[in-house]
Amino acid sequence: MSRILLLSDIHANLTALDAVLKDAAANGPIDETWSLGDAVGYGPRPNECLERLRELDAIAVAGNHELAAYGSIPATDFNQYARTAIEWTGSVLTSDSRDHIDAMLLTIMRNPFTLVHGSPRDPVWEYIMAHEEAAQCLKYIDTRHCVYGHTHVPIAIPASSSVMRETRPRPGQVVELGDERWFLNPGSVGQPRDGDPRASYAVIDSTEMTVSFFRTEYPVEETQHQMQEIGLPDMLIQRLEFGR
């Protein structure tokens, strides 16, 4: 059996990332780790989060926040809070972090999954929240399934189904992939936006072809304190405790 840890939108929240790694390892060994973009941005520990991903030999695609912090896309494309955090992130990235981001691709194929941040049609900016967008995006992938991030909300969509439906998986829920073609989003490790402040992640069992969704608590106030010390925007600090 092969267990693949699915992480997305870590957003430089090292405390949340470490809680997720501990929680996932408690359920058995992890064979591979995939990061679906936005490991940096918003949060206080961008270099440390990228370093963790390197230690894990994680396969990582770039998200809009990596690209902006690196300078590949303009920070002016973001709202003022995100932009402030991006500019700070860009100013503290080490050369190892910059090299790491520079080597990230927008789309990676790991059969039977395609990895992207936003969507296969627009890996940087598109949000897939509903069945309709996922169904339209099927033609942009050469694999059976797609794993993605960007929404900061866990989602499972049977995109090939003629019945339009998308689910918001509950913690502990196991999705059996069966005959459908799925678009699967593990939610956000470091800045959840579904009203649950706990760190969100998922695990693929590539033998059983199931995806399990999880939430784990972490000391939110520790991350908030680190953000205060840096002087990151209050709005970004406060939203962590509400998961909004």
User: What are the tokens at 42?
Assistant: 């918003």
CB of 68 to Zn ion, least distance (A): 11
Please state, in angstroms and as integers, the Cα–Cα distance from residue 48 to each residue in 52, 119, 187, following that order. Answer: 6, 27, 21
CA angle 50, 52, 56 (to 5 degrees): 115
Nearer to Zn ion by Cβ, of 67 and 137: the residue is 67
Question: Pairing relation of β-strands 210-216 and 107-110?
Answer: unpaired
Nearer to Zn ion by Cβ, of 62 and 177: the residue is 62
Total residues in contact with Zn ion, by rule CB under 5 A: 2
Instruction: Candidates 13-21, 35-43, 122-130, 162-170: pick the segment binding Zn ion (CB under 5 A).
Output: 35-43
CA angle 197, 79, 20 (to 5 degrees): 25
Q: Does 166 bind Zn ion (CB under 5 A)?
A: no
- Give SS3 for 29: coil
CB of 117 to Zn ion, least distance (A): 8
User: What are the tokens at 204?
Assistant: 């693929």
Nearer to Zn ion by Cβ, of 38 and 166: the residue is 38
CB of 31 to Zn ion, least distance (A): 25
User: What are the tokens at 148?
Assistant: 């993605």
x/- track of binding to Zn ion for residues 37-56 (CB under 5 A):
-x------------------
Give the binding site for Zn ion (CB under 5 A).
9, 38
